[in-house]
Amino acid sequence: MTFDTVALDRMKLSDIHAPRRLGKVLHDMLGRLDGPVPILDIARALDVSEVRLDEFDGFEGMLLTTPARRTATILANTRYGTRRARFSVAHELGHFLLERHVLSDANGFRCTPRDLRETRDGQRHFRQEAEANQFAIEALAPVSMVKPFLNGEPDLRAALSLRNLLDISLEAAVRRILDLAPVFLGAVWSHNGAIRYLIRTQAFPFLTCGKGTLLPEASAAASAVANGKRGITEMRDVHSTIWTDRADIGLKEQTRVGKNGHAVTLLWADLPDHDDEEKDHGVAELVVPGFR
Ligand SMILES: [Zn+2]
């Protein structure tokens, strides 16, 4: 075990119902960490009696527990890699510790890939899933460890380094950078040139493409994906109307072409000063265009 389990006191966490705060208090107890957060050990130290990583069908993560939450078992699917499974463990630990979360079935919580990307609030199911995700990223990528990666201009290479340091997925690293960066960013995940999903920080302009559509024909992303050469392109200026509904802003884009036609594109908007003033300071919630 790489940390002092005695430092973890579940009683001190039991009255915290704000997911980000819960993650922060957890890290205050743990003290400084230099590498990946030992989330499995943390779960076990907080009354989760068993954590099973395996290939499962039909769910990404499952928490078997009772409303009283004396103990629990966490199952996490390794079908898409252990990094995603680590996120699933953290997400289920969130459902366990956020004691106001209402069990989604008789045996606890059963969470799908969609749940593990949920950012919406509103109806209870969405809110609970979004909160479990907020806790998970706070637990796996605490602000103090992410901050050094926010220096300098946005770059997917920083997301890759963050992924390697913290043993999280590239997707989680990109989302966390959008979450904390003091600039206006969007990110677009695609497969064989078709958009799978996209996110943006709150003040980022409206994206004119959407889930299921092709990457914009004139984008550098479309060229990089068509070329098929794996790796990360340089961040380059493109016309803002290729991606957004704004003609009066600066826009840069950079793409990482990965395995089997998968790619992620980072968008970086330079907004006029009066837009800057409207930007909320503090942590920006992620917004899924089309759902808000
Ligand atoms: Zn869940």
13, part of any domain: yes
Residues in the chain with pLDDT values less than 70? 1-6, 274-292
pLDDT per position as a tens digit, 8-63: 889 999 999 999 999 999 999 999 899 999 999 999 999 999 999 999 999 999 99
Report CA Rg, the chain.
Answer: 19
84, part of any domain: yes
| Separation between Cα atoms, residue 247 and residue 271, nearest integer Å | 11
Helix (H) or strand (E) holding 110, with range, is strand 108-111
Torsion of CA 94, 95, 96, 98, to 10 degrees: 80
> What local confidence, expressed as pLDDT, does residue 282 receive?
42
Q: Report CA(145)–ligand 1 centroid distance (Å).
A: 25
Contact 120/287 with Cβ under 8 angstroms? Answer: no
Amino acid at 154: P
- Protein residues placing their CB within 5 Å of the ion ligand 1: 111, 115, 129, 132
Q: Report CA(64)–ligand 1 centroid distance (Å).
A: 12
> What local confidence, expressed as pLDDT, does residue 121 receive?
83
Same-domain status, 106 and 227: no
Query: Which range marks the domain in which residue 235 is found?
Result: 182-287
Residue 231, classed as helix, strand or coil, is: strand
Residue 114 belongs to domain with CATH number:
1.10.10
- Residue recorded with tokens 């709150």: 202
114, part of any domain: yes
ipTM, interface predicted TM-score of the complex: 1.00
Q: Report CA(129)–ligand 1 centroid distance (Å).
A: 5
> What local confidence, expressed as pLDDT, does residue 284 receive?
44
What sign has the CA pseudo-torsion 39, 45, 47, 52? positive
Q: Report CA(100)–ligand 1 centroid distance (Å).
A: 13
Residue 221 belongs to domain with CATH number:
3.30.450
Other beta carbons within 10 angstroms of residue 240's beta carbon come to 20
Same-domain status, 124 and 247: no
> What local confidence, expressed as pLDDT, does residue 202 receive?
86
Of 180, 242, 250, 182, nearest in space to 207 by CA? 242
Q: Report CA(56)–ligand 1 centroid distance (Å).
A: 16
pLDDT per position as a tens digit, 247-266: 999 999 999 999 999 999 99
Amino acid at 274: H
Contact 135/20 with Cβ under 8 angstroms? Answer: yes
Q: Report CA(77)–ligand 1 centroid distance (Å).
A: 13
User: How many domains does the chain divide into?
Assistant: 2
Residue 159's contacts (CB-CB under 8 Å, 6 or more residues apart) are: 149, 170, 173, 174, 177, 266
151, part of any domain: no
> What local confidence, expressed as pLDDT, does residue 291 receive?
35
| Separation between Cα atoms, residue 74 and residue 96, nearest integer Å | 9
> What local confidence, expressed as pLDDT, does residue 287 receive?
52
> What local confidence, expressed as pLDDT, does residue 223 receive?
97
53, part of any domain: yes
